[in-house]
Amino acid sequence: MKTLIIGGGASGMTAAIFSALKGDDVTIIEHNERLGKKILSTGNGRCNLTNRKLSGDIRTHFSELGCADETFYRNIISKFGYEDTIDFFYGLGLMTKERGDLVYPLSDQAGSVLDVLRFKVRDLDVKVLTECHVKDIKRKEDGSFFIVSDKGSFSCDKLIIATGSKAAPQTGSDGSGYEIAKKLGHRINEVRPGLVRLRSKDDFLRQVSGVRSQALLSLFDDDKKICSEEGEIQFTDHGISGIVTMNISNRLHLCGKKPVVHIDLIPNVPAEDFYKELVKRRESFPKRSAEDLVTGTVNKKLGLLSLKLSGIRQDTKAASISDEGLKNLAGHIRDLTVNIEGPDGFMDAQICLGGVDCSELDDGLQSRIVPGLYFCGEILDLHGDCGGYNLQLAWSTGAIAGRA
């Protein structure tokens, strides 16, 4: 059986390994000068390759996002899940470690993940054609495929498309796979940047640019709450960033024209208790300035911003701030509102939302439209939050397509 895989990233290499393990004659066509470039930039160069919580919380981390329903995700994860991933990589020679629930290579180098995949691809005699550009794909009468590239023509019995999305196109995933899928008759659901910073034109952001803070972020569409996420937010001149923001960005398309993020800067203290604490401070330190009154509650720049938004001068004596003023101040610390213009672009996105519609695939990720054609990885309209969920989808779908 001849299998040809277009795209030599995380999912394509995994598919190649599983396909070759069952005896197929496998070729990878990669248009970059090397395999797996994107893997090197994952997890800030450390590669967060999966997550221990994978099986438990599919609904939270996957299913509300893509076109596929929960059953589709469960099917994928049940066929190749957390344990399978750890065993697979251990078998390739990679030792792993955990930071909380997040799994990394023991070496803390994304390069190790890429290396062990490359070594196995080599050990299994998979043919790798780099800097190879596909020009045309035809299906022959006998059901096999004929691929024309700038490095020659190839026939194969099974064709796997593993070209990724168009997030971070500088790593090779330039979106050309969507055109290939379309030509082969597949529907592409709208492709948008995912896991990305959110842009805002709110002037006050410049005052807190660079600040990092623990916070609870809630995305609202006008007054309808879409989702909440707690973790570290980072403020920038032009918006908000950090893992919590990126996770929220995956749900931005559920909003209409006026998405707003409400930020609670001290989520773990009940609102009433915090107001009482400010009142107590005013009594204990009547001669202190308003600036000193908020010291130690939130980051200094955020404290100053909250005072400004509440209309309280920072040199105001604590004793002269009214109850109303303190309520207002507490309110701004508990609800800093950022108006969102939209997500950053594909260049800065970690993943893409949208892609090949999974309803056109069977359980084994084979096309219902073109038998013998398979898809794996981020080209599919499947995606997850930060935390190793997206690479997990690449390993899982790569393994399923490769085995099939």
Q: What is the contact surface with ligand FAD in residues (CB under 6 A)?
A: 6-12, 29-32, 37-38, 41-43, 47-48, 134, 162-164, 167-168, 171-174, 176-177, 350-351, 377-378, 388-391, 394
User: 116-135 as b/e, with b when 16 or more CB fall inside 10 Å?
Assistant: bbbebbeeeebebbeebebe
Name the minimum Å distance from CB 146 to ligand FAD. 16
Name the minimum Å distance from CB 6 to ligand FAD. 5
CB nearer ligand FAD, residue 48 or residue 366: 48
* Distance from C-alpha of 104 to C-alpha of 97, rounded to nearest angstrom: 5
CB nearer ligand FAD, residue 30 or residue 264: 30
In single-letter form, the type of residue at position 341 comes to E
CB nearer ligand FAD, residue 29 or residue 329: 29
The 8-class DSSP code of residue 31 comes to S
Name the minimum Å distance from CB 173 to ligand FAD. 4
Tokens of 94: 């990679």
Name the minimum Å distance from CB 326 to ligand FAD. 43
* Distance from C-alpha of 119 to C-alpha of 178, rounded to nearest angstrom: 29
How big is the chain by its Cα radius of gyration, in Å? Answer: 25
Cβ atoms of 116 and 92 within 8 Å: the answer is: yes
Tokens of 397: 């779908």
CB nearer ligand FAD, residue 8 or residue 105: 8
In single-letter form, the type of residue at position 98 comes to E
* Distance from C-alpha of 203 to C-alpha of 300, rounded to nearest angstrom: 18
Name the minimum Å distance from CB 351 to ligand FAD. 5
In single-letter form, the type of residue at position 70 comes to E
Cα 69 → chain centroid? 18
CB nearer ligand FAD, residue 134 or residue 321: 134
Angle between helices 300-309 and 323-334 (to 10 degrees): 130
Name the minimum Å distance from CB 360 to ligand FAD. 17
CB nearer ligand FAD, residue 181 or residue 305: 181
* Distance from C-alpha of 5 to C-alpha of 259, rounded to nearest angstrom: 40
Name the minimum Å distance from CB 291 to ligand FAD. 38
Strands 158-161 and 373-375 come out as parallel
CB nearer ligand FAD, residue 7 or residue 259: 7
CB nearer ligand FAD, residue 52 or residue 301: 52
Strands 50-51 and 102-105 come out as antiparallel
Name the minimum Å distance from CB 174 to ligand FAD. 6
The continuous run of DSSP H or E covering 352 comes out as: strand 351-356
